[in-house]
Amino acid sequence: MAALIAENFRFLSLFFKSKDVMIFNGLVALGTVGSEELFSVVAFHCPCSPARNYIYGLAAIGVPALALFLIGVIWNNHTWNLVAECHKRGVKNFSAAATFLLFGSIMGRAAVAPVTWSVISLLRGEAYICALSEFVKPSSLDKFPADHGAEVLARFPCKDVPANLTKFRDEVTRRLRYESQLFGWLIIGIVAVLVFLTKCLKHCCSPLSYRQEAYWAQYRSNEDKLFRRTAEVHSRILAAKNVKQFFGFVALDKEEKELVQEFPVEGVQPSPQWNAITGVYIYRENKGFPLYSRLHKWAKGVEGNGPSPEAHEMLFLAS
């Protein structure tokens, strides 16, 4: 029981990533800010019509946020590693905490852009004002004409109102902008607290030292770069050999000829090897020595996914 609890607590380190990922998240947030500003200037036009304002205002905030969230899920490597893991091996090797925190990692990273979009939209206030102006109670406005109602209030975001209602429009706009910005700042505060708490939990529960964690991040980055670069060269050489076999010759430039001569490719890797290096990776140690990736584990000839005396799994998910 104690070992199981320790393993589940170690999974709390799932949520946080390397500095490179943090920088990437920052760039995503900045790109989202720029996109939201462009959208507000170019594309956002409140209909100023009862029943339409609410739908349009919420759609302006929610639909782009949803699209950004789905894009974030699609671009996250953990998503497709999880799909491959479920397809090839199932999730029987994961505890409930592992599965929950894996989904949390995917959702958390994907939420960077939509949260940024929503916060910027709320701080600007245009969409919120458009959505809720018609719901302001006329009785809350001092000396508001009794013969005017939701239809006139819905026109306030467009400033298309009679001169005698200008001061009421300014008051409604100011009140709604205050509420919108308040919600925006609250979201920023909540996110900041959650980031701080998870960062603290990550350092408290991580089975790795700070230096080993940094080394692991560097290893994963270098392995990924070298794997992609080598896969590109390997596939190009293999394609050249197959084209030559079909046509009798292959048109290669000077660089490609040098690659073909320098790196002989005899064939392709069998599917079991591809399956062995594909999927969700959990930090493992074999006889006290770390295994930093599925490729590392395959290269060392370590079999199986479950913990055993010969291949102990620390159950620490790669960020």
d(Cα 169, Cα 166) in Å, to the nearest integer? 5
Q: How far apart are the first and last CA of the chain?
A: 26
pTM of the model: 0.69
Q: Quickly list DSSP for 145-204.
A: -TT--HHHHTTGGGT-S-GGGHHHHHHHHHHHHHHHHHHHHHHHHHHHHHHHHHHHHHHH
Under a CB-based contact definition with an 8 Å cutoff, are residues 293 and 221 in contact?
no
Res 122: pLDDT = 92
| pLDDT tens-digit readout, 2-29 | 443 344 444 434 333 444 455 555 555 6
- Grouping H, G, I as helix, E, B as strand and the rest as coil, residue 290 is strand
Give the H/E segment covering residue 73. Answer: helix 52-75
Helix (H) or strand (E) holding 85: helix 77-88
**Residue 142 has what DSSP assignment?**
T
Predicted confidence at residue 168, as pLDDT, reads 78
Give me the long-range contacts of 186-190 (CB less than 8 A, separation at least 24). 187/115, 187/118, 187/119, 187/122, 188/119
| Cβ contact 61:53 at 8 Å | no
What's the token pair of residue 1? Answer: 């029981």
Q: So what's the pLDDT on residue 18?
A: 40
Question: Which parts of the chain register pLDDT below 50?
Answer: 1-20, 41, 306-316, 318-319
- Quote the pLDDT of residue 106: 85
Q: For residue 36, what pLDDT is reported?
A: 57
H-run or E-run covering 286: strand 282-286
The per-residue pLDDT for 206 is 74
Q: What is the DSSP string of 90-115?
A: -STTS-HHHHHHHHHHHHHHHTHHHH
pLDDT of residue 23: 52
SS3 content of the chain, % helix, strand, coil (to 5): 70, 5, 25
